[in-house]
């Protein structure tokens, strides 16, 4: 890695001659082809979410009353739904909800879970016991039922869905960080930091945190897939996001009733989009774990 030292001396480097992005990408694709596939899918959906306004041929929520439940055609690639809205445009717009819920929910889960795991793992004892039992308690309930109950009770808004998902998923990050910290807290470099005179907060956040979060970071994509799936499920059950908002779960719910009458396209296309994004995120997450865990990498 060529770098210039602040005092201006150019550093002679021994590291990788001829680094190129192309070779790095080929290298990653070779170590983890599934990850490459996952990245492609996720990037494609991300592109859809960011540039939905330019990609949608129609307004996703304007109803063409004369074109209700039309099958796929040149004008409406994925057909129209019961309100006469363009399904193709709605599927594209739905990507915004997928990412818009998953990213803040995962960030919230990290913000809650990582410090809790850090402190519980380092302090141990009673505090650890209380925090972890509480989190165990959270995980005993099927998350979908808990999410349903909480969202239904706190009010039907997008923000509430994000908050509930983030909170419900925080134990995953807390557990991962805690187990890393448990292994690291008796390691020599932590003892060496203590011997040098580091106060506890520095040991936690300067010494332990950067070494303990790698496993948790590798989980983010998989947890994002979970958040996408659960938020769609909530919408499908009619909690949180309501039709005619172009959210995939809500669209599938709306389309489900037309399945029996033969208008399959209303539910099928948002369903495929949902499956693809969840699949892509999972592949990506799996690859991240392959790359960050040397044991898994060696087995490949």
Partner 1 sequence: MSLLEVENLRTHFISRDIDNQIRVAKALNDVSFRLEAGKVLGFVGETGAGKSLTAQSICGLLRPPARIVGGSVLFDGQDLIEMPQEELNALRGDQIAMVVQNPRTSLDPLTRIGDQLVRIHQAHTGGPVTASRGRALDMMQAVGIPDPANRSNAWPHELSGGMAQRVLIAMALMNNPKLLIADEPTTGLDVTVQAQILDLMKGLTERFGMAMIIITHDLGIVAHYSDEIAVMFAGTIVESGPVREVFAKPDHPYTRSLIASTPEKLQIGGGAKLGGQPPDLYNLPSGCPLRTRCTFAEDVCATPPTRKQIGGGHYSVCHFSGALPEGGGPQ
Partner 2 sequence: MTSPVLTVENLAKRFPTGRSGVFVNAVNGVDLTIAPGETLGMVGESGSGKSTIGRAVLRLTEPTEGKIIFDGRDITKIPEGQMRPLRRDMQMVFQDPWSALNPRMRIGDLIAEPMKLHLGLSKSERENKTVDLANRVHLRPEFLRRHSSDLSGGQLQRVCIARAIATNPKLIVLDEPTSSLDLSVRAEILDLLNEIREQTHAAMLFISHDLGTVKLISDRIVVLYLGSVVESARTDELFSNPAHPYSQSLLSAHLPADPAAKLERHVLKGEIPSPINLPSGCTFRTRCPVAKDFCEHEVPKPHHIGSAEHQANCLRIPDGGNRIAQTETA
Query: Which residues lie near partner 2 (CB under 8 A)?
Result: 3, 5, 9, 11-12, 187-189, 191-199, 202, 206-207, 210-211
Note whether 73 binds partner 1 by CB under 8 A.
no
Q: Which residues pair with 80 in a beta bridge?
A: 86
| Tokens 């004892």, located at residue | 125
Measured from the CB atom, the residue of 33 and 57 that comes closer to partner 1 is 33
Q: Does position 12 bind partner 1 by CB under 8 A? A: no
64: left (phi over 0), alpha (psi -120 to 50) or beta: beta
Distance CA 193, CA 178 (A): 19
Please give the helix or strand (H or E) that residue 258 lies within, else none: helix 248-259
Q: Which residues contact 274 (CB under 8 A, 6 or more apart)?
A: 98, 228, 229, 232, 248, 249, 252
Q: Which of 4, 7, 14, 186 binds partner 1 (CB under 8 A)?
A: 14
Minimum Å distance from CB 212 to partner 2? 10
Residue 23 or 187: the one with the smaller Cβ distance to partner 2 is 187
Q: In the structure encoding, which two tokens stand for residue 140, read together?
A: 């005993």
Q: Which of 11, 13, 27, 62 binds partner 1 (CB under 8 A)?
A: 27
Among 11, 13, 23, 73, binds partner 1 (CB under 8 A): 23
Least distance (Å) between residue 44 CB and partner 1: 24
Residues binding partner 1 (CB under 8 A): 14, 16, 18-20, 23-24, 26-28, 30-31
């Amino acid at each position: 890695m060529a770098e210039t030292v602040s005092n201006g001396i150019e550093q002679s480097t021994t590291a990788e001659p001829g680094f190129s992005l192309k070779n790095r990408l080929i290298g990653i694709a070779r170590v983890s082809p599934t990850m490459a596939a996952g990245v492609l899918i996720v990037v494609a959906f991300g592109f859809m979410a960011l540039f939905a306004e330019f990609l949608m041929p129609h307004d996703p929520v304007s109803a063409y009353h004369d074109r209700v439940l039309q099958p796929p055609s040149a004008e409406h690639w994925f057909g129209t739904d019961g309100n006469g809205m363009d399904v193709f445009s709605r599927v594209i717009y739905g990507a915004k909800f997928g990412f818009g819920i998953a990213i803040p929910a995962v960030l919230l889960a990290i913000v809650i879970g990582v410090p809790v795991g850090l402190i519980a793992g380092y302090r141990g004892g009673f505090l650890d016991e209380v925090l972890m039992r509480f989190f165990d308690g959270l995980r005993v309930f099927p998350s979908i039922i808990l999410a349903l109950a909480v969202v239904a009770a706190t009010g039907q808004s997008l923000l509430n869905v994000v908050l509930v998902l983030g909170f419900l998923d925080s134990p995953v990050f807390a557990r991962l960080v805690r187990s890393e910290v448990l292994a690291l807290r008796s390691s020599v470099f932590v003892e060496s930091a203590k011997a040098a005179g580091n106060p506890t907060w520095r040991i936690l956040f300067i010494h332990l945190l950067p070494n303990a979060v790698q496993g948790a970071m590798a989980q983010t994509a998989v947890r994002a897939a979970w958040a996408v799936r659960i938020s769609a499920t909530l919408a499908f059950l009619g909690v949180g996001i309501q039709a005619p908002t172009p959210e995939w779960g809500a669209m599938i719910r709306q389309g489900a009733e037309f399945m029996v009458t033969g208008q399959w396209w209303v539910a099928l296309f948002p369903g495929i989009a949902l499956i693809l994004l969840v699949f892509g995120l999972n592949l990506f997450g799996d690859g991240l774990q392959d790359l960050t865990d040397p044991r898994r990498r060696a087995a490949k």
